[in-house]
Structure formats: C-alpha cells, structure tokens
Amino acid sequence: MPHEATRLREEFGTVDERVARLNARYKNHSATSVLELALRDAELGRIALVSSFGAESVVLLHMISVIKPTTPVVFIDTQMLFQETIDYQLELIEKLDLRDVRRIQPKPAAVARIDPDGTLNQRDTDACCNLRKTVPLQEAMDGYDAWITGRKRFQAGSRAALDFFENELNTRIKINPLAHWAPEDVKDYMINNRLPRHPLVAKGYPSIGCAPCTSPVKDGEDPRAGRWRGQEKIECGIHFVDGKMVRGPLPKTDSVADTKKGDAA
C-alpha cells in the first residue's frame, strides 16, 4: 500500500537516510539482536522474510519462529525446484510452527508466453530467472517496506561489503542479519539448535537453487560453484548493488578486495 511508504518517508526521511541511521544504530549488535529489534523498529514499516528454504535458510526461519512466528515468509516456487526443497519446506513449516508462509509462483500466462516448453534455462538463464524469480518477487514485495534476507559477506564478491541494512532502489530496505557471519557460525547455530538440514547438503549441494541450474560441489570448490556452473552468472538477479541488478561478477575494486581479505583473516 503506497500510503504506508509515504508515511514512512514523511515521518523518518528517505530510504537512504533511514538505512544510514539503522546501520549506525545496530552496527555493534548480534544477528539475533538485529533481527529482533528490526522486527519492531518503526522505521522499517511492514517486513517479510524472503526464504528459498535452501541449504542455510533454516537459520533465519528458526530465529523468526522464536522471535515472531507470525512474520510473513515469502517462498518463491520457480516450478523448477528440487522435490527435496519442496519436501523440506513442508517439514520446516510444521517443525518450526511457521504461521504465515506465502508460496508465490510465476504467472501461468507469462510462463506460457515466454517459456512454454520449460527449456528457457538452457538458452538464457538470466531470462529464466527474471521470469520465474525476479518478477514474481518484485510483485510480492509491493506490499512491504522491508524484507529480510539470508545473504552473508562470505558468499560472493558481490556481497563482500554487505551491511545489516541496504537501500533497495529507494523503494524499500533489505535487512541482512547474518551479514557478518562466517560459515562456522551457520554450522554452529544449526548444531546447537538441532535444526534439520536440507537433504541435498549431504549429497554435495552446499548452495541450492533450481534443479536444472544447480550441481554438486567438489571438495575445495567455492560453495556457490555449483550454481550456474560454467557461466559468469553468480546471482539470480533479485538483489541490487549500487542500483544495478546483480547477475554476474562485480568489477574487482580495491574496497571489495580489501573487504574480502579482512573476511579471510
């Protein structure tokens, strides 16, 4: 509803101003503290968690279930997911008592027009992601002022300087509670809370997307090496950096390189 975004702007300022304040306010907080406080921070307005129910999704889903289980959870069903992902989603909904999971899909008319035989991913992965993921998510997000993501600095060069809060096209705010977590933090959280793992993780899939574009990862490879293997593509296109949709690798600037070195240390 547009009037809510207008109210937030009139009361708290532009998205940029709010993001700057939020990052300053929460810069020394833990992931759980950022999430808990953000869910009741008036500057953020209406919030949803966007979850792929992938390899590491259970961490934020568990946090939400403890802090505020009625938080809307938006799940993008591209209709090309592994059956294991669909089954895992149903398992977590029941186990964590998630009370408002909203499963969204691409519009049938758009699929019939653009990808009638289901082979678009073989010809143009960007177009397929746009049809099945980016557009449905953008439409679903129209009703929210902020959304929670599971993105982390260690996952890709495009995420190396990630903050807790980001400006998304001056329209809404992205909340990244796990931005500063290392892989060990994710693993420890799952173990300590006895959370079920996605069944494909044990089969060599540390990062899980659509079935046609995800392959197992060998020992020593980057965890996301199995996503769009053999292509320059590293992101599906639902995230933006400096106002531009991210699909391929970012130019290697000094700031990004320095951040990556810091993470490695």
Give me 145's structure tokens.
Answer: 């002022």
**Active-site annotation holder among 129, 210, 213, 236:** 236
Q: Kindly state the helix (H) or strand (E) to which residue 49 belongs, with its residue range.
A: strand 47-51
Mutual orientation of helices 183-192 and 58-67 as an angle, nearest 10°? 50
Q: How far apart are CA 67 and CA 229, in angstroms?
A: 37
User: Dmax of the chain from CA atoms?
Assistant: 52
Mutual orientation of helices 31-38 and 58-67 as an angle, nearest 10°? 50
Name residues whose C-beta falls within 8 Å of residue 25's C-beta, 6 or more positions apart in sequence: none
Q: Which sign, positive or negative, has the C-alpha torsion 248, 254, 258, 261?
A: positive
Q: Which sign, positive or negative, has the C-alpha torsion 232, 234, 237, 240?
A: negative
Q: How far apart are CA 210 and CA 203, in angstroms?
A: 15
State yes or no: is 210 an active-site residue. Answer: no
Catalytic residues: 236
